[in-house]
């Protein structure tokens, strides 16, 4: 297995796109900062730009940069590839007649890692999303060698998605260190029973710690999300 790129950190993946990876990553960074660590967020590939005050920005990159501490970081350092269209990354790149260079991603990560005591990398969409013709996000996670945190979007079908992702993480030789249940559908039936099943199976099969369950919040700020996460679990993830 590749040695971890940073002394401490994690690769945050999700059961799907739009399940709360950015919100949870920002909360993890907030916790790392509270530990006194130089903490840096990294979004290798971001798809979806909006124009704010005449500038094109990506919301994920902004959120991770704002939750980071340590050195002042530029948007380009936190998000080396940012594409206009909000769609699959290799398609978003092609729409601009560009392509993602895997080596550029690794170089960007290698530049940030030594400046940090904790590096939080937000994946792109789910765990196995194509980036180039022959590389995907799981290859990237593998190359970074960080423990993986899975954001489970709590809605019907999430148990299967979580277990499939966990198997894929293991197949890449990575450790699924922990998981967070994030409420996507507040009306999900039998949510408590789903949580019990996830907790049991993810621990028994993968040794993954339950880091907490986050309700649908009126303002999902890093602080508000963090109040629903378990500090003992976070310590386990980041002290690996
Ligand atoms: N617990 C929550 N309470 C309220 N809103 C939330 C919560 N979690 C996420 N959201 C909102 O849901 C949307 C999707 O969340 P987020 O952007 O974190 O997902 P993502 O997995 O990072 O998506 P992507 O795959 O596009 O990177 C955002 O508008 C976010 O503010
Ligand atoms: Mg995101």
Q: How is the chain split into domains, by residue range?
A: 9-238
Distance 138 CA to ligand 2 centre (A): 16
Output the pLDDT for position 70. 65
User: Which residues does the annotation mark as catalytic?
Assistant: 43
| DSSP per-residue codes, the chain | -PPPSSSSEEEEEESSTTSSHHHHHHHHHHHHHHTT--EEEE-SEEE--EEETTEEE-HHHHHHHHH--SS---HHHH-SEEESSSS-HHHHHHHTT----HHHHHHHHHHHGGG-SEEEEE-SSSSS-B-SSS-BHHHHHHHHTPPEEEEEEESTTHHHHHHHHHHHHHHTT--EEEEEEEES-TT-TTHHHHHHHHHHHHHHHH--EEEEEE---SS--HHHHHTTB-HHHHHHHHT-
Pocket flag, ligand 1, residue 17 (CB < 6 Å): yes
Class assignment of domain 9-238? alpha beta
The whole model's pTM is what?
0.98
Task: Kindly report, residue by residue over 16-25, the tens digit of the pLDDT.
Answer: 999 999 999 9
Task: Kindly report, residue by residue over 144-201, the tens digit of the pLDDT.
Answer: 999 999 999 999 999 999 999 999 999 999 999 999 999 999 999 999 999 999 999 9
Pocket flag, ligand 1, residue 126 (CB < 6 Å): no
Distance 2 CA to ligand 1 centre (A): 30
Task: Kindly report, residue by residue over 41-99, the tens digit of the pLDDT.
Answer: 999 999 999 999 999 999 999 999 999 996 689 999 999 999 999 999 999 999 999 99
Q: Which residues surround ligand 2, an ion (CB under 5 A)?
A: 21-22, 60
Nearest CA to ligand 1 atom 1: 216
Output the pLDDT for position 163. 98
Instruction: Please indicate whether residue 211 or residue 2 has the higher confidence score (pLDDT).
Output: 211
Q: How confident is the model at residue 2 (pLDDT cuts 50, 70, 90)?
A: confident
Pocket flag, ligand 1, residue 14 (CB < 6 Å): yes
Output the pLDDT for position 72. 87
Best residue among 20, 48, 89 to mutate for probing ligand 1's pocket (most ligand atoms within 8 Å of CB) is 20
Distance 197 CA to ligand 2 centre (A): 26
């Amino acid at each position: 297995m590749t040695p971890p790129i940073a002394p401490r950190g994690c690769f945050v993946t999700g059961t799907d796109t739009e399940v709360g990876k950015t919100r949870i990553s920002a909360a993890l960074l907030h916790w790392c900062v509270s530990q006194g660590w130089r903490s840096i967020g990294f979004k290798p590939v971001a798809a979806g730009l909006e124009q704010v005050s005449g500038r094109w920005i990506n919301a994920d990159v902004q959120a991770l940069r704002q939750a980071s501490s340590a050195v002042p970081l530029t948007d380009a350092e936190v998000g080396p590839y940012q594409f206009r269209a909000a769609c699959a990354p290799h398609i978003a790149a092609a729409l601009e007649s560009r392509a993602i260079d895997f080596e550029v991603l690794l170089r960007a990560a290698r530049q940030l890692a030594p400046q940090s005591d904790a590096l939080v990398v937000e994946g792109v969409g789910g765990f196995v999303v194509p980036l180039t013709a022959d590389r995907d996000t799981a290859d990237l996670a593998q190359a970074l060698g960080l423990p993986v945190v899975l954001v489970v979007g709590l809605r019907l079908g999430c148990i299967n998605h979580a277990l499939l992702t966990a198997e894929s993480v293991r197949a890449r030789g990575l450790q699924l260190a922990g998981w967070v249940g994030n409420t996507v559908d507040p009306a999900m039936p039998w949510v408590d029973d789903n949580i019990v099943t996830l907790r049991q199976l993810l621990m028994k099969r993968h040794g993954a710690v339950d880091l907490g369950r986050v309700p649908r919040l009126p303002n999902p700020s890093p602080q508000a999300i963090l109040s629903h996460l378990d500090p003992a679990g976070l310590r386990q993830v980041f002290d690996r």
